Amino acid sequence: MKTVRTRFAPSPTGYMHIGNLRTAIFEYLIAKKNNGQFILRIEDTDQSRKVEGAIDFIYKTLELCNFKIDEGPQNEGKYGPYIQSKRKDIYLKYALELVNSGKAYYCFCTEDDLNKMRKEAEEKKQAFLYDGRCSKLTQKEIEEKLKRGEKYVIRQKMPKDGFTIVNDLVHGEVKIDNKVLDDQILIKSDGYPTYNFANVVDDHLMNITHVIRGHEYLDQTAKYNLLYESFGWEIPTYIHVAMVLGSDGTKLSKRNGDASFMDLYNEGYLPEAIVNYLVLLGWSPKTNQEIFSMDELIKEFDPKRINKSSSQYDVKKLNWINSHYIKQMNDEKYYEFVIPFLEKKYDISKRDINFIRNLVKLYKNSISKGIDIIDEVELFFKDEIDLNSEEKEFMNQDGIDNTISIFKKYIENINDWSVENINTAIKNTKNEANVSGKMLYMPIRIKVSGQMHGPELDETIYLLGKDKILERLNS
């Protein structure tokens, strides 16, 4: 039985955005589900978009997500190089093979020629397709142009009638009309291959069995199939996935949530939570389970359950999943997770370590990402608190001043500052002021913290300290 081999082939253009990462997750799960191999290949044929250090970002992202790369630029197998710019001669060899067999041809059309064709198509209100004029050049004309050093590209010769069938694991059999297929460029004028051509050559030479692409490229896959057929190569299994939409239903962008993985990671989203969330964007498990470990995902993942329709990026759902993973951390790991966020915002160097540990622990069930801890603990690092209009309105009710006055009396009388004695002060206030529930706890919380809601009131008061509490009760 043929070994399942999938590949993740990003371009080194910066941080990896979540759409690309979701593709990597699907490819990784397919490989590991079938005891196969997951390959990393860097597609840098568009040298103008290459960003220095981007390959390191890619490796860092996959490493943080706990993906085992079986072959790649940093651990090459027998199918290398795994960076396309280092495979340039390979692509030219195969392109010339197609030229010699009549399946491709030299095209010497200039940019002015192409712009003229585009303008004519626009005037006729037609989609622009290259008209194939250079495919009609004689061998003598081609040799003369090459001898003169005229710039050229190599184009694939497409059939102009009939249909090409694309079989897809998610969408089934898809029939593509050949007349909509452009004579695509295989080798650009700079000698580098196009994305489409390099993919086909590399996927074949690297024995890739499953290819995941965006659904929007399904029609273009017919060109892939025609290339495979031209070479007499086996066509891989295709899986076309629908795009991820932003919260407003439009294509995901930076403006509506298309954060990169590193953006999310730097805000305190855990890699395992990001992976868990992204796999549910476009894939449905057999049960209602929503929290998955990597081992569980590998066991449960079935590519046939990938949805045909687009998925909507929902940061609230991501926050919910991330908060679940935070709650599952042991106290030491949680402390190590949130402390860098605190250190960036506040000077905690002179604070007692036990105070800081108890402080962040107080908010463990309140935060949905690491950076949230900064706002949550702000009341412990500022001298004055400001009330909003809702809080002021609540505090202006009859009886509130009396409740605060009684509570202050019991706080002043505490000699041994402890959570237990603070609780006793609250209970005594309840009995003497004859209040309970919201009318007991909320006035105290607003007065000492400037917030209507928060974690355990007694622990909050304890960590603020007696002096700070009395200062705020007297203000």
Q: Is 146 left (phi over 0), alpha (psi -120 to 50) or beta?
A: alpha
Residue 47, pLDDT score: 72
Instruction: Per residue of the chain (475 residues), give pLDDT as tens.
Output: 789 999 999 988 877 888 889 999 999 999 999 999 999 999 987 777 777 888 888 999 999 999 999 999 999 999 999 999 999 999 999 999 999 999 999 999 999 999 999 999 899 888 899 999 999 999 999 999 999 999 999 999 999 899 999 999 999 999 999 999 999 999 999 999 998 999 999 999 999 999 999 998 898 899 999 999 999 999 999 999 998 887 777 777 655 556 789 999 999 999 999 999 999 999 999 999 999 999 999 999 999 999 998 888 899 999 999 999 999 999 999 999 999 999 999 999 889 999 999 999 999 999 999 999 999 999 999 888 888 999 999 999 999 999 999 999 999 999 999 999 999 999 999 999 999 999 999 999 999 999 999 999 999 999 999 999 999 999 8
Single residue among 262, 279, 312 that ends a domain in this structure: 312
Q: Are residues 256 and 108 in the same domain?
A: no
Q: Are residues 161 and 178 in the same domain?
A: yes
Q: Tokens for 28?
A: 């990784």
Asked if residue 60 belongs to a domain, the reply is yes
Rounded CA-CA distance 333/433 in Å is 43
Q: Which of 93, 179, 254, 438 does the annotation list as catalytic?
A: 254
Q: Are residues 203 and 91 in the same domain?
A: yes
Residue 253, pLDDT score: 60
Range of the domain at 339: 329-371
Q: Are residues 52 and 27 in the same domain?
A: yes
Asked if residue 383 belongs to a domain, the reply is no
Asked if residue 377 belongs to a domain, the reply is no
Q: Are residues 57 and 131 in the same domain?
A: no
Asked if residue 324 belongs to a domain, the reply is no
Q: Are residues 187 and 265 in the same domain?
A: no
Q: Are residues 363 and 407 in the same domain?
A: no
Quote the pTM value.
0.90
The tens digit of pLDDT for each residue in 160-190 reads: 899 999 999 999 999 999 999 999 999 999 9
> Residue 409 is part of a domain; what is its CATH number?
1.10.10.350
Q: Are residues 175 and 218 in the same domain?
A: yes
3-state secondary structure the chain: CCCCEEEECCCCCCCCEHHHHHHHHHHHHHHHHCCCEEEECECCCCHHHCCCCHHHHHHHHHHHCCCCCCEECCECCCCCCCEHHHHHHHHHHHHHHHHHCCCEEEECCCHHHHHHHHHHHHHCCCCCCCCCHHHHCCHHHHHHHHHCCCCCEEEECCCCCCEEEEEECCCEEEEEEHHHCCCCEEECCCCCECHHHHHHHHHHHCCCCEEEEEHHHCCCHHHHHHHHHHHCCCCCEEEEECCEECCCCCECCHHHCCCEHHHHHHCCCCHHHHHHHHHCCCECCCCCCCCCCHHHHHHHCCHHHECCCCEECCHHHHHHHHHHHHHCCCHHHHHHHHHHHHHHHCCCCCCCHHHHHHHHHHCCCCCCCCCHHHHHCHHHCCCCCCCCHHHHHHHCCCCHHHHHHHHHHHHHCCCCCCHHHHHHHHHHHHHHHCCCCHHHHHHHHHHHHCCCCCCCHHHHHHHHCHHHHHHHHHC
Q: Are residues 229 and 118 in the same domain?
A: yes
Q: Are residues 209 and 98 in the same domain?
A: yes
The tens digit of pLDDT for each residue in 245-262 reads: 877 777 776 555 567 899
Single residue among 189, 221, 241 that ends a domain in this structure: 241
Asked if residue 276 belongs to a domain, the reply is yes
Asked if residue 318 belongs to a domain, the reply is no
Residue 258, pLDDT score: 61
Residue 464, pLDDT score: 94
Number of domains in the chain: 4
Q: Are residues 145 and 224 in the same domain?
A: yes
> Residue 177 is part of a domain; what is its CATH number?
3.40.50.620
Single residue among 204, 224, 241 that ends a domain in this structure: 241
254 an active-site residue?
yes
Q: Are residues 218 and 110 in the same domain?
A: yes
Residue 383, pLDDT score: 83
Residue 56, pLDDT score: 87
Asked if residue 384 belongs to a domain, the reply is no
Asked if residue 463 belongs to a domain, the reply is yes
